[in-house]
Amino acid sequence: MNIKILTLLLSLTIGFTSVRAQNTPPVAAAGLPARHWTKTIGLGLNYVQNSLTNPPAGYGQNQLGGNAQMNVSLNYDKGKIFWPTFLNWNFGLVRIGSGPLDAGSSQKIPFQKTLDRLQISSLVGYRISRDSAFSVLAGFELQTQGTPSYIDPNGTYRGVFLRDIRNSGSNPILANFFSPAAVLSYVGIAYQPSPKLFIGYSPSTYKGILVLDDAVAGLVGKVDAQGFPTATVHGNKVEIVNGVPVFKNHLSQVGSYLLATYKDQFFKKRLSYSSRLQLFSNYLSHPERVDMYWQNKLDFTLIKGLSLSYQFDLFYDYDVLVLLSDKTIPGGFSGEYGRRVAMQRQLMVRYQVAF
């Protein structure tokens, strides 16, 4: 199968992150009972505003927007048992221009979503022995988005919005919370030779694509020569019953799952790199079509507490169609759906405080 890169997204943001973490609890150093829980909370905020009144020609236009990141992790490690859990939510909005949506309209130019990604992961492991690199594990993961996504039913404004900007009643919705949601549940084994590297494998994994909103579940991505839908946008099942398409709210899969994470520091700990790779193969249909989600992050410390962070993510799922990019079309997207690798890149200057 020939897979082409779908989308190239580059955003530059200035963020603030506060992190609470303790790698070596001070109570342990003081001879007191060790704390087996480690908590990390990160909050990133970005605000951009450009307000113009009677500007000279060529100055630009009004802009209002921002980006927020929330990272929460809770880790337990005692004896043979370890239990890491994390939640990541990246959300952004922007409004370019001002005034009414159309001439004579009471609707203002709306905010557009720039990013909305919610990820929750938790796994429990039991080491074969206290010093062993091998363990058995069970885990759960959820990926969805936190808010609804709409398009302009008139097609005048390209982008994704938090509501039906024209109150059309046609419900031009693209996605919603748990519509879609990718759910993983697995049991397997793990190998962790050092704190830097972790490899987990499960030969028995359930993967479900849930689309609880019926309007979202009915979005057609592909049709055959007779005009009947053959694939939905988000990957939920569609069946033709007596010549009528019936859209299901889920797609259930059972297969093999690999999770690999790596983190390290270089140049006297000024440069840090972390990577998280997930691969899934469905036993029930075309196991050669491997789903992939690969997250990479590179941090370079400029001065104490201030770092330059670069994030690079790749995503591919044969069942999930993506909006095809086309730089020759206004807005950069063709309006058609297909099977491609999705790419996201983000550059951020981040200030962090540990306490």
Q: Per-residue pLDDT for 141 more than 80?
A: yes
Could you tell me what percent of the chain has a pLDDT over 90?
54
**Which two three-digit tokens encode residue 92?**
């952004």
Q: Per-residue pLDDT for 169 more than 90?
A: no
Q: Which region among 13-17, 118-122, 229-233 has the lowest average model confidence (pLDDT)?
A: 13-17
Q: Per-residue pLDDT for 219 more than 50?
A: yes
Q: Are 274 and 262 in contact (CB under 8 A)?
A: yes
Spatial separation of the C-alpha atoms in residues 52 and 98, rounded to whole Å = 10
Which has the closest alpha carbon to 197: 294, 262, 132, 259?
262
Q: Per-residue pLDDT for 24 more than 80?
A: no
Task: Give counts: helices (H), strands (E), the chain.
Answer: 2, 21
**Which two three-digit tokens encode residue 320?**
């999930």
Per-residue buried b or exposed e for 226-265, using 16+ beta carbons within 10 Å of the residue's own CB: eeebebbbbbbbbeeeeeebebebbbebebbbbbbbeeee
Q: Which residue has the higher pLDDT, 298 or 63?
A: 298
Say what the pLDDT of residue 125 is: 96
Task: Give the position of tokens 């990718």.
Answer: 182
Which has the closest alpha carbon to 96: 13, 171, 161, 15?
161
Highest mean pLDDT among 46-50, 126-130, 265-269, 289-293: 289-293
When pLDDT is cut at 50, 70 and 90, the band that residue 311 belongs to is confident
Spatial separation of the C-alpha atoms in residues 340 and 315, rounded to whole Å = 9
Spatial separation of the C-alpha atoms in residues 149 and 93, rounded to whole Å = 12
Q: Are 179 and 160 in contact (CB under 8 A)?
A: no
**Which two three-digit tokens encode residue 246?**
């019936």
Report phi then psi at 255, rounded to 5: -165, -155
Q: Are 188 and 202 in contact (CB under 8 A)?
A: yes
**Which two three-digit tokens encode residue 147?**
């808010």
**Which two three-digit tokens encode residue 253?**
């899969």
Q: Are 339 and 319 in contact (CB under 8 A)?
A: no
Which has the closest alpha carbon to 178: 218, 144, 219?
144
Spatial separation of the C-alpha atoms in residues 344 and 325, rounded to whole Å = 13
